[in-house]
Chain A
Amino acid sequence: MASFGQSVRVGIFLGTRQLRRANRSTTVLIISIMTFTFLNLVVVSGILVGLIVGGNIANRNQYTGDVIATTLSGKGAIDHSQDFIATLAHDPQVTAYTARFLGGGTIEANYKTRTDFANKANSVGAQLAGVDPTQEDNFSHISNYVVEGKFLDPTESGYIVLGSDILDRYSASFGQGFDSLKNVYPGDTVKVTVGTNTREFIVKGIVKSKVGQVSLRSFISNADFIQLSGRTDLDVNEIAVEHNATITDDQMKARLVADGFDKNAQIQTATEAIPDFLTQIKTAFSLLGNLIGAIGIVVGSITIFIVVFINAVTRKKFIGILKGIGVSPLAIQVSYLLQSLFYGLSGSLLGSLILYGLLVPAFNAHPLNFPFSDGILVADVPTTIVRIIILLIVTLIAGYIPARMIIKKNTLDSILGR
């Protein structure tokens, strides 16, 4: 009986020649199908996950930074904030940080021209953020998201930048039940009330972002916030920190905790600060993507099955002849498996080239504009390798079954085409 090695060798001999001398158009067609199957498997789930990941990245860049310290439950602010800030200022691994005062207030517009006092005032409840304009912009590049007017100037006082989501013309899609300001534009004066203190501000700009903590807040300078809120201490409510690449988020957090800052603030990495529901949506989208990808795999494997089956059926006579002259069934199977492997591998490699050479850079440069995030294409290499392996296994099975079906037929029947 022929050894396993001899059969494999002859199988490779036959398979490579069948591939080399196959019809070029058919080969291109099959590889194209496998390429699209691969892309379907990777890209669909990659976009779905990318919707959430894109949102998480924006959240990190514009709001949390790599590590964020927030006010402990039951406290009004982060105690000894200035010690925290001083530590960050002298840490060589911290590349940027911003400290934010936060407080609830009311913003009223068009009150000078209001004539109908029977109806509700043009006002809205809003979260006010007192920031150092230079520090905040260095950290989050918030000025890039100002869609009307400008961001705060550190040398000026009495100006406010409104989040777009509190304006009627930007948040109409929220529907009724959410208050919003109407007809407010840069240069208009608005009345801001915090507690019992009220002060007029000139609208400097409108900031619009897909990060809720940016577009729902209204920004004023630290000094204006302290004056308006009447807070006498310098304890802030939020400190967002960005570090360099020499340490991880977890290491940065661990250092801050080791310094004892967790006694006065809740310290979280950017990942920990992601709301649970977003993590769950990411998992759900990933599952959905895998389901859609699985359908793609089934379609791809059926294609390979049909291709190999037709190939094997039309070559039934030659398979019979090979068996007749003493070529082992294993050798013939190997020749067909080799062809399936070639199609699967070619499709995966071509798909990977398109994915990493074209699609991922294109999505990074031009993210999909979804209402709640800028969707990118997430295709990490380990996941892609796993999918290539899955595709190859399925392709091999799809190639093996029809080849086996034909090989099991009676040798003489195959030779005589019966």
Chain B
Amino acid sequence: MDKTISGKTIQVNEEGYLTNFSEWDKDIALAISQEEHIEELGPKHWKIIEYLQDQFKQEIPLSIRKIGKSGVVDIEEFYALFPQGPLKKATKIAGIPKPASCI
């Protein structure tokens, strides 16, 4: 479905995840983070977003455990930066699919 956000029309699924990563940009990330009640995206947020996008491009499945071991952020801080379901929020802001942490 179409969604208009920060002046652009993008494709999202029924849960609000971008279905076409090429439509993502930083303004969209900021707008989604507001919707997710994250007031500000600091340098650490962006570092995590970059890491998630990088993993997505390499088709590496994501999990909180893996992110905790990545050296980018520890699990506690990940929860502090993206409260209440950090992985599902961070992936939504990063414009990549919700991890199918399965099955």
Pair from one complex: no
